[in-house]
Amino acid sequence: MLREMERDIGIDTLSETERDVFLAARNLSDSPGDFVESDAIRNHDLVRSTAQATFHRTLRALIDLGLLKRAKGFKTKRYVVRSDLVAAASRGQGDGTG
């Protein structure tokens, strides 16, 4: 079921690090449109052991893939998970914790 959900929202082709960073950001997004600070993502249990440079490269990759976008009104360090992915993941997970 989890693999099917990953395929449905388009994260089945991500690397392990990309998936972890995306899932951490998704987990920290309470509702569609909420922004997440990069420090909060960086300190999430899924990401904490990731090297700093790898983390930043991964953020850029997720932005390039359209899974994350920079929050409007901020130059850096705040990101929004695509709202359709927040809603889809919440519906599929029951508890909405990512």
The owner of tokens 């901020």 is: 74
Model confidence band, residue 90 (pLDDT cutoffs 50, 70, 90)? very low
Model confidence band, residue 97 (pLDDT cutoffs 50, 70, 90)? very low
Neighbours of 65 (CB within 10 A): 15
Confidence (pLDDT) at 46: 95
Confidence (pLDDT) at 52: 95
Residue type, 55: F
pLDDT tens sequence across 13-35: 889 999 899 989 989 987 877 88
Provide the residue ranges of all domains of the chain, joining segments of one domain with +: 2-90
Taking domain 2-90, whether its CATH number is 3.40.50.1370 is answered by no
pLDDT tens sequence across 34-86: 889 999 999 999 999 999 999 999 999 999 988 899 888 776 789 998 767 65
Confidence (pLDDT) at 62: 93
- Percent helix, strand and coil across the chain, each to the nearest 5: 50, 10, 40
Neighbours of 74 (CB within 10 A): 12
